Structure 1
Amino acid sequence: MSFFESLLVLLAAAVLLLQVSRRLKAPYPALLAAAGVCFALVPGLPKISMEPHTALALFLAPVLVDAAFDFPVADVRKMWRPLFALAIVAVILSAAAVAWLGVAMVGLPIAAALALGAIVAPPDAAAATAILTSVRLPRGSVAVLKGESLLNDASALLLFSAALAFQARGGIDAALAVKLTLAAPGGVILGIVLARVLRFVNPFVTGTLGGNMAEFVACFGAWIIAERLGLSAVLCLVAFAMTIARTAGLRTPPRMRIHSFAVWTSSVFLLNVLAFLLMGLQARTIVADMPRDRLMEAAVFAAAVVGCLVVVRMVWVLTYIRLSQIFPRLRGDAYPTPSLRHGVLVGWCGMRGLVTLATAFALPADFPQRDLIVLTAFAVVLATLVLQGLTLSPLVHLLGLDGENGLDEELARTRADMAGAALKALEGKTGAAADHWRYRFAAVPTTIPTRAGELEARRTLGLKALRRQRERLEELRDSQAVGADAFLVLQEELDFEEVSISREDERQIEEN
């Protein structure tokens, strides 16, 4: 079986498994990773390998840009204290605890133990937020989780780089210490500079299909430049995407933005699917090459690492919340004191995912105890996705945190404000065109509904009217009263109109 045929089989199986995971309400990454192990048993499948740095760039760069683009800089400023506690302190504590376990339980060298700690330390908050799409959470908690996922990758990869350098050099000298110290601020500065440079290029490609290609070229190019300069590629991409999102709003045509979001969402999802499948294939090879006694030792060690990670995160989150209740400056002034219930929820959102897999992929082939480290990372991802992923939604209900999150009211209030601004812009304008738009914007509700039922009633009535328009358009097409070109244009208009009145969760295409 050729590589292309094997890849096609893997993707076809992934489509089937995604349907199974949705019906079972199970995290799809866990099923995909387990399927990868099973696929490795199929005779004729070629061995799929990837150069370590290529794996990191391919699987991480687009994910980081996609997430950072949607995360506002203002939230980082408001929540920098809890973000620092989760993305920096929690990662360091988790990595240190796992490194100690590695040395004490299986005799890992210091560098290998630090590398393992860095690999499994950062939770993938994207996995948590994907699972939590079925419930309504306080948006402050969701924002903290999303912000953590952006920044903890940077701290973990810096630790990972330090561990690799420690192993290669046999220690850390002054030059390496300076390099690691400058990596974080240098990465941020580089990302901002590259985003400013891209502003001058965008006008030439905006509104074209080549513009989407340019976005991916810029994404991978920024990662490679940061890597070549010895800077934090993660922070470079986070700063790069946030700067673009902050400055590109009015410069980007709506059609380009809609198309770009669709392309990036599909691309990132495909990379997630491939990463979990490939990790499963690699894990099966490692298991097959391990002696039975060594495999049992690895299983016990992996279970200990999972337990350690869960306990360390939960204890630190609850400790931080308690300290923030005593010392308000620890939480900042933008948000009220988080409750212990919120702390339990955030502490339980410790599923590991793509970052852990991609970093494990990136270990050099001759790295000490690589097989044990990769297998442990794989086990941690599977265990946390199953253990925490399957219990997260029930935990939300148990803690009484599900309910209205205030988004609908905020949307209605902002729409009314925007409509008022539009009406002011039309003041003094006369004629049929001005009357048309004045009527259109005046129809936007200027009062905020007090009950969610009022919002839902408006949506239901609008969707019913649009449905009848679609049926009539189909009838006209079938009777050849409207041609194919006109049909496609009108169908697209109805699509945009329906999306505009749908709920936020109905506009998004999610697997969980």
Structure 2
Amino acid sequence: MEILVIAVAGLLVIAAGNQLAPRVGVASPLLLLALGAGVGFLPFVSAIELDPDIVLEVVLPPLLFSTAVSMPVMDFRRELRAVAALAVGLVAVSATIIGLVVHAVMPTIALPWAIALGAVLSPTDAVAITVARGSGVSQRIITILEGEGLFNDATALILLSSATAAGIAHSADALQPAALVSGFLTSLALALAIGWAVGEGSIRVRSRITNPTADTVVSFTIPFLASLPTDYLGGSGLVAAVVAGLVISFRRPRLLPPAHRQTAQQNWRTIELILEGGIFLFMGLQAYGIVQDVVDGGFGLRAAVLLAAGTGALAVLVRVAFVAPLLVWLRRVRRRHRQHLEEERQRLERFETRLEQARDIDDELLAKHGLSAEQWHQAVTGWRDRLERGQRRQRRRGADLDYFTADPLGPREGAVIVWAGMRGAVTLAAAQTLPLTTPNRPFLLLVALLVASGSLVIQGLTLGGVIRLVRPRMASRTADDAERERLLRLLGDAATSRHADALTPAEARELAIETIRVQRHALLDARDEGLFSSSSLEYALERLDAKEILLTTAE
């Protein structure tokens, strides 16, 4: 009964925090974190400790899966370079530098355990990005931050595992770079393979389910179907859940009926609200128990606070030093991309000219090549298909270049990317996976808690001020409106030219439904070529879905 009362109270607190946040101008996760910490320090509340396996295996897979499903795959593909650099390179660099500095400042913390602490403090939290999502910055910044938060856990957990093994072996030599790279690639390969297989298989199964409620129930199992076998085989279960979510995000508009997608989306938003709110609430509630362990163990609270402040600041400085050259490199890649695009355009034009000439055939030319007229026609048809594939690829690359040109990443945007990279619940959960025999374990847990909560509070509360100060490129509603007009014209062109004047009401309704489906296919073809922004595509897709649901439910 007591657990039930606590659960009900927690749900009410999460709902209240979600409603109160817009009124006080503070993100809901920050309110819940502060409330949890306040309740945890009340004298009649006993110390609370949440099993880290619950966070890593039960809470995070569905949360990251939900974020991946809602992420436009087109935008993620475009930002893959930046995401990979931040999720792998930055985490590895941050963990190493933080570990070396911690060991130098506090020699009592052996180097392997110092690097383990660095691995814990390095990854940003995809859940914490909710603080930045409502700030009005461009979707490109949000995509990079979310993509980084979705994939950097794998790098951090592999580094943590290797550093822990080295610490247990009492040898820093056990931190072999070759072994780390091999372990990372193996873990990533398993996650990609299993995540893709689960995502592709589950979306095909769901396409055969006729009941939207049953389809939603099946969707609840997908993150665990991806993460559990991957974890068992030694891969990254969190990355597998993310990959499955990305596959479903890309495939579901073509395979799932609108009613199924809408029902699942609404239910997943509820699950996301509960899990996201609960993880920050429990993060605050655990503060008292961690502090008490440090006091009981004779460790200095002052030393923990100073070390947390230093490592938190160092993590931000390392992020600045990494993001600045990353933006320069991305600009150079864009210039090379423009040059290659022009070369590809000229090559396709030459190929098209030769193809036009190949249509003029005579008996002498056929005899020269030893082909019949039918064989020559088949060859020309194959060349035409090859040309069309090249032109589609050219249009997509051109659309990608337009995307980068219209929304460039400069120093102002880089400042937001740096400051919005907050630590969160993953940091605390990863720290709690340290073995009980870890030297100074309560001290390390407190440092992780202080860095995570300090990052959320300081960076979260000041992010709006930083945005107003640096004035980055913001999301443009005017540009979105103009693009939506072009997109609606595309849908009008895709609609059938048949008229419903001479049709019965049932036939007219079937014609309208078929027209909507033709428009949806045209819309998704435009998505695959990258011709419109993800926000405009989502807007048009929601309109089509609403119309089809209205028609299919009408009697």
TM-score bracket for this pair, using the shorter chain length: 0.7 to 0.9
| 1:271-324 CA distance string (max 9 Å, x none) | 122112222222211212323761110000010011111111122212222344
- In the alignment, is the contact (CA less than 8 A) between 1:82 and 1:330 conserved in 2? no
1:24-61 deviation digits (Å, cap 9, x = unpaired): 21233233223222222345546544443232012210
Residues 284-293 or 309-318, more deviating: 284-293
CA 1:179–1:398: 2 relative to 1, 3 Å: closer
- The answer to whether the 8 Å contact 1:115/1:164 transfers is yes
* Residue number among 404, 408, 416 corresponding to 2:476 in the alignment: 404
Mark the CA change 1:435 to 1:157 in structure 2 (over 3 Å): closer, same or farther: same
Superposition pairs of residues 155-194 of structure 1, within 5 angstroms:
155-168=155-168, 171=174, 178-194=182-198
Matched, 1:413 2:481: no
Q: Match for residue 91 of structure 1?
A: 91
The answer on whether the counterparts of 2:212 and 2:263 sit within 8 Å (CA) in structure 1 is no
1:171-205: CA deviation from partner (whole Å, max 9, x where unpaired) = 35788874443111121011112223324532454
Residue 310 of structure 2 corresponds to residue 304 of structure 1: yes
Distance 2:414 2:249 in 1: 30
Long gaps (5+) in structure 1: 445-495, 501-512
**More displaced stretch, 178-187 vs 58-67:** 178-187
Name the SS of the counterpart of 1:249 in structure 2. Answer: helix
- Give the aligned partner of residue 65 of structure 1: 65
Q: Please list, as runs of the form range in 1=range in 2, the aligned pairs for 1:228-377 lying within 5 A after superposition.
A: 228-291=232-295, 294-325=300-331, 328=334, 334=401, 335-336=404-405, 338-377=409-448
Cα distance, 1:158–1:31 mapped onto 2, change above 3 Å: same
Which stretches in structure 2 are left out of the alignment for 5+ residues? 339-399, 520-545, 551-555
Contact 1:87 1:155 survives alignment (8 Å): yes
* 2:132 and 2:420 in contact (8 A); partners too: no
Cα RMSD between the aligned structures? 3.5
**Contact 1:55–1:361 (8 Å) recurs in 2:** no
Tell me the SS of whatever aligns to 2:31: helix
Alpha-carbon distance in 2 for matches of 1:378, 1:250: 44
Q: Secondary structure at the match of 1:248?
A: helix
Quick check: 351-360 or 329-338, which moved more? 329-338
TM-score by length of 2: 0.72
- Whose relative contact order is higher, 1 or 2, with alpha carbons under 8 Å and at least 6 apart? 1
Give the Cα separation in 2 of the matches to 1:204 and 1:392.
Answer: 45
Q: Deviations over 1:331-384 (max 9, x none)?
A: 997323522111112122121123223323433444333222222222122222
2: CA distance between counterparts of 1:105 and 1:23? 43
Match of 2:495 in 1: 422
Aligned to 1:112: 113
> 1:417/1:236 Cα in 2 relative to 1: closer, same or farther (>3 Å)?
same
Distance 1:49 1:411 in 2: 50
* Aligned position for 1:23: 23
SS in 2 for 1:363: coil
Count of residue correspondences: 448
- Residue 62 (structure 1) shift: 0.8
Structure 1 residues 407 and 435 mapped into 2: Cα distance closer, same or farther (>3 Å)?
Answer: same
Which residue, out of 430, 454, 458, partners 1:387? 458
Distance 1:179 1:93 in 2: 17
Once residues 42 and 36 of structure 2 are traced to their aligned partners in structure 1, the CA distance between those partners, rounded to angstroms, is: 10
Name the larger-Rg structure: 2
CA distance in 2 between partners of 1:70 and 1:286 (Å) = 35
Aligned equivalents of 1:57 and 1:104: distance in 2?
34
- Looking at structure 2, the residues matched to 360 and 213 of structure 1 have their Cα atoms a distance apart, in angstroms, of 33
Q: Does the CA-based 8 Å contact 1:122-1:152 persist in structure 2?
A: yes
Distance 1:278 1:323 in 2: 40
Moved more, 107-116 or 176-185: 176-185
Q: Name the SS of the counterpart of 1:290 in structure 2.
A: helix
Q: CA distance change for structure 1 residues 15 and 202 in 2, over 3 Å: closer, same or farther?
A: closer
Calculate the TM-score normalised by the size of structure 1.
Answer: 0.77
Task: Name segments (4+ residues, structure 1) moved above 6 Å.
Answer: 173-177, 329-333, 434-438
Change (3 A) 1:140 1:196: closer
Q: Cα gap change, 1:34/1:412 in structure 2, threshold over 3 Å: closer, same or farther? A: same
**Shift, 1:247, TM fit:** 2.2
Residue pair 1:123, 1:352 contacting (<8 A) in 2 also: yes
1:372 match: secondary structure: helix
Worse overlay, 265-274 or 51-60: 51-60
Deviation for aligned residue 1:125: 4.8
- After superposition, the Cα gap between the structure-2 partners of 1:77 and 1:317, relative to the gap in structure 1 and judged at 3 Å, is same
Q: Structure 1: how far apart are the matches of 2:471 and 2:115?
A: 38
Q: Do the aligned partners of residues 74 and 131 (structure 1) sit closer, same or farther apart at CA in structure 2, a change above 3 Å counting? A: closer
Structure 2 contact 40–46 (Cα < 8 Å) conserved: no
Q: CA shift at 1:261, angstroms?
A: 0.9
Structure 1 CA distance for aligned equivalents of residues 114 and 157 of structure 2 = 14
